[in-house]
């Protein structure tokens, strides 16, 4: 028998009030843990400090919007870029690798974002020194698809599965063409896990994806490309009313798609050389031009983090701290109220030879144990809550959350709870310390 | 263990503000291993006297000397320690802790004395007061007489040198009264423990070689 077991006994004796106070702590801790875990995941996601590319080139507009659509696939893309512009970037002397992507469609099943790209995409690390790993193969032929681990798990797809796309998220607008899964990516913990990659050639081959020629011509002119006369002729022809039997497309129809008609949503660039100077210079060059915009996603995402995510995080943490403070007060009230009943008990312990410090310690241990016990339960409940919430969050936002993801901040919780518990126990402990033995015994 | 009370005075403050003198003992002695029955009228100050001896209540003046140590002169932590180590106390109101089992109540005293707990000895003591079958019962589950016996076992747990017993047999039947009395007296004899036992029962007092009436030496 020692002071801790004595404290445990008293807790057990007041089981109902003890468990209620511990419960209030655990609820506070539960919320705090949930907030920490979710924040940790969001922070990790958006503060990825390195990508396999150092520039994202997209249409002029908001840099944040470009990053959110091209990298996180959380936003619809803006005006696409002509394929010729991608070609131009590819030929730029500072560029080591240029990878085009097209986005906007979703898988018919599960609604996962589709990224049309080529095999080179997978040659870029998805994070610092982390290359893509695939079961099967990367994109080869036009109707190949490589799916992220989450897509495979959720949709139950594997190599050989075939799927259709819905156009731009329009529910009933399903494209006829089918893609075939040739590879499944190993989990990366990035938005790639919930992305279905298809060959950009196949993407262009989808019947409704080529631009109306006149629009394509306008775009090309805006980008200062010479428009071939054949294209102008074709555009004129297109304006004529169509023959009634000119419906029903097959892949062969689109094999003839001209480069001038193709477009990309964004281009991932990796510049030559180890230092970032080439990237900065190239970005400057692209941004001076009215045609497109180049961003380095890292500072853009950092800005988003500090602007929004950090503030939300702070707010949630303040809220949960308040909840913990409220439960701390309730522990205090409960222990303090119990002191009246316990005066006699404390008097007896003192009469048996317990020193003032000893009874003080017992009360302190009691409140610390309540806090720690409640905290431990709260930790489990918090992760449980995340486990319950993660599929919902994922389906709504596409953000993957591992319920077991342990935030280092959670470890601080225990010393903090210990301190809080001791602070709460201090006044009642002092009351115990000051108990007059003879008076307490004669009660 | 010898006990000397020297010019001991204690008065309580009245709610009105005046003083009620309760104790005024010029001199009282108890020799090592001596066993004394203390009798006196109710409200005479017997419990107060025991509390003062145990250091639970501080006297207004005078000295309590145990084994040549002036207990009244010790600072509080030393007095607490001294009480835990040297003095066994059977309270008039038992003062068992309701959250703890009979066994744990006995162990508690050991725990506070800082000598480590010895459940063998605790079990043995409880068996000797006839509670070997009630080790895991908590005080509310015990009869008054059984609670009294747990209190006796607890008082003996730390091998005290002085045992103060405040009517330890008041709540038990005659058969058990004698068992408890024998237990206390034998344990004290075996271990050279001095015993000061308060009682109202003439037949209990009659078994002691020395009987002291409080009013004979206390003139408040
Ligand atoms: N804490 C206190 N404050 C004020 N007066 C007290 C206090 N404790 C005891 N008294 C008074 O001191 C006197 C002695 O009380 P005490 O308990 O010592 O008597 P006692 O001899 O043990 O009586 P009993 O045989 O009934 O147990 C009583 O008149 C009581 O009212
Ligand atoms: Mg009394």
Q: Which ligand 1 atom minimizes the distance to the CA of A442?
A: 1
**Cα dihedral A103, A104, A109, A112 in deg (nearest 10):** 60
Cα R_g (chain A), whole angstroms: 31
- The residue contributing the CA closest to ligand 1 atom 2 is B12
Q: Which ligand 1 atom minimizes the distance to the CA of B92?
A: 27
- Cα A367 from Cα A213, distance rounded (Å): 75
pLDDT tens-place string over residues A45-82? 666 666 778 899 999 888 888 888 888 887 777 788 88
> Between chain A and chain B, how many beta carbons pairs sit less than 8 Å apart?
74
SS3 per-residue string spanning chain B: CCEEEEEEEEEEECCCCCEEEEEEEEEEEECCCCEEEEECCCCCCHHHHHHHHHCCCCCCEEEEEECCEEHHHCCHHHHHHHHHHHEEEECCCCCCCCCCCHHHHHHHHHHHHCCCCCHHHHHHHHHHCCCCCCCCCCHHHCCHHHHHHHHHHHHHCCCCCEEEEECCCCCCCHHHHHHHHHHHHHHHHHCCCEEEEECCCHHHHCCCCEEEEHHHHECC
pLDDT category at A247 given cuts 50, 70, 90 is very low
Nearest ligand to the C-alpha atom of residue B18: 1
Structure tokens at B19: 């003083």
Measured between CA atoms, the residue of chain A closest to residue B117 is: A1
What is the distance in angstroms between the Cα of B31 and the nearest Cα belonging to chain A?
23
* End-to-end CA, chain B: 27
A358/B112 touch (CB, cutoff 8 Å), yes or no:
yes
B95/A349 touch (CB, cutoff 8 Å), yes or no:
no
Average pLDDT, chain A: 82
pLDDT category at A305 given cuts 50, 70, 90 is confident
pTM of the model: 0.67
- B13, B97, B103, B159: best mutation site toward chain A, by most A Cβ within 10 Å? B97
Residues of A in contact with B112 (CB under 8 A): 349, 352-355, 358
Tens of pLDDT, residue by residue, chain B (220 residues): 689 999 999 999 888 888 899 999 999 999 999 999 999 999 999 999 999 999 999 999 999 999 889 999 999 889 988 998 899 999 888 889 988 999 999 998 888 887 788 999 999 999 988 899 999 999 999 988 889 889 989 998 988 999 999 988 887 788 878 888 888 898 889 888 999 999 988 889 999 999 999 999 998 8
Structure tokens at B104: 């744990």
Structure tokens at B160: 């005290």
Decide: B47 in ligand 1 pocket, CB within 6 A.
yes
Decide: B12 in ligand 1 pocket, CB within 6 A.
yes
Enter the ipTM: 0.89
- Cα A383 from Cα A403, distance rounded (Å): 6
* Closest Cβ–Cβ partner in A13, A344, A353 for B81: A353
Give, for A121, the enclosing helix (H) or strand (E). none
- Cα B30 from Cα B4, distance rounded (Å): 6
* Closest Cβ–Cβ partner in B95, B96, B108 for A1: B108
* Closest Cβ–Cβ partner in A10, A344, A353 for B112: A353
Which of A17-31, A108-122, A228-242, B26-40 has the weakest average pLDDT?
Answer: A228-242
Contact of A287 with A293, CB cutoff 8 Å = yes
Tell me A47's DSSP state: T
Decide: B140 in ligand 1 pocket, CB within 6 A.
no
* Furthest CA-CA distance within chain B: 51
B97/A2 touch (CB, cutoff 8 Å), yes or no:
no
């Amino acid at each position: 028998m020692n002071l801790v077991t004595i404290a445990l006994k008293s807790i057990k004796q007041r089981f109902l009030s003890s468990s209620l106070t511990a419960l209030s702590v655990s609820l506070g801790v539960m919320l705090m843990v949930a907030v920490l875990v979710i924040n940790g995941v969001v922070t990790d996601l958006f503060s990825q400090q390195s990508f396999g590319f150092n520039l994202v080139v997209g249409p002029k507009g908001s840099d944040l919007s470009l990053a959110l659509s091209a990298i996180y696939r959380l936003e619809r893309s803006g005006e696409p870029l002509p394929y010729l512009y991608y070609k131009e970037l590819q030929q730029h002397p500072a560029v080591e690798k240029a990878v085009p992507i097209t986005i906007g469609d979703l898988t018919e099943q599960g609604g996962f974002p589709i990224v049309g790209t080529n095999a080179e995409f997978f040659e870029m690390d998805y994070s610092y020194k982390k290359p893509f790993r695939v079961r099967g193969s990367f994109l080869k032929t036009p109707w190949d698809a490589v799916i992220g681990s989450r897509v495979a798990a959720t949709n139950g797809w594997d190599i050989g599965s075939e799927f259709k796309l819905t156009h731009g998220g329009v529910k009933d607008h399903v494209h006829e063409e089918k893609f075939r899964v040739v590879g499944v990516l190993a989990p990366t913990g990035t938005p790639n896990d919930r992305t279905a990659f298809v060959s950009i050639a196949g993407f262009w081959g989808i019947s409704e994806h080529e631009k109306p020629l006149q629009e394509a011509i306008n775009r090309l002119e805006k980008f200062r490309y010479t428009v071939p006369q054949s294209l102008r002729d074709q555009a004129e022809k297109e304006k004529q009313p169509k023959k009634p039997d000119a419906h029903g497309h097959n892949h062969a129809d689109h094999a003839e798609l001209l480069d001038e008609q193709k477009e990309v949503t964004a281009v991932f660039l990796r510049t030559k050389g180890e230092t970032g100077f080439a990237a900065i210079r190239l970005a400057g060059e692209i941004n001076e031009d009215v045609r497109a915009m180049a961003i380095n996603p890292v500072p853009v995402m950092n800005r988003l983090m500090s602007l929004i995510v950090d503030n939300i995080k702070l707010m949630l943490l303040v809220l949960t701290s308040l909840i913990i403070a409220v439960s701390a007060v309730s522990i205090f009230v409960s222990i303090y109220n119990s002191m009246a009943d316990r005066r006699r008990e404390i008097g007896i312990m003192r009469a048996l030879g317990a020193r003032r410090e000893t009874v003080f310690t017992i009360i302190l241990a009691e409140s610390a144990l309540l806090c720690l016990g409640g905290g431990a339960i709260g930790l489990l409940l918090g992760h449980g809550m995340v486990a319950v919430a993660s599929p919902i969050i994922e389906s709504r936002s596409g953000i993957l959350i591992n319920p077991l993801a342990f935030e280092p901040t959670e470890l601080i919780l225990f010393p903090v709870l210990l301190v809080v518990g001791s602070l709460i126990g201090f006044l009642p402990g002092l009351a115990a310390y000051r108990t007059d033995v003879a008076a307490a015994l004669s009660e | 263990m010898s006990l000397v009370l020297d010019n001991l005075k204690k008065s309580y403050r009245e709610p009105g503000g005046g003083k009620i003198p309760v104790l005024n003992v010029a001199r009282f002695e108890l020799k090592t291993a001596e066993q004394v029955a203390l009798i006196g009228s109710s409200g005479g100050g017997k419990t107060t006297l025991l509390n003062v001896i145990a250091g639970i209540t501080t006297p207004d003046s005078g000295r309590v000397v145990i084994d040549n140590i002036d207990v009244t002169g010790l600072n509080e932590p030393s007095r607490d320690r001294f009480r835990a180590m040297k003095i066994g106390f059977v309270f008039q109101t038992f003062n068992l802790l309701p959250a703890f089992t009979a066994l744990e109540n006995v162990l508690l005293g050991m725990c506070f004395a800082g000598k480590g707990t010895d459940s063998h000895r605790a079990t043995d003591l409880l068996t000797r007061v006839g509670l070997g079958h009630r080790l895991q019962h908590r005080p509310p589950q015990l009869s008054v007489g059984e609670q009294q016996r747990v209190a006796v076992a607890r008082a003996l747990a730390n091998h005290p040198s002085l045992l103060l017993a405040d009517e330890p047999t008041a709540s038990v039947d005659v058969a058990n009264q004698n068992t408890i009395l024998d237990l206390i007296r034998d344990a004290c004899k075996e271990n050279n423990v001095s015993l000061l036992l308060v009682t109202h029962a003439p037949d209990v007092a009659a078994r002691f070689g020395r009987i002291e009436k409080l009013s004979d030496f206390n003139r408040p």
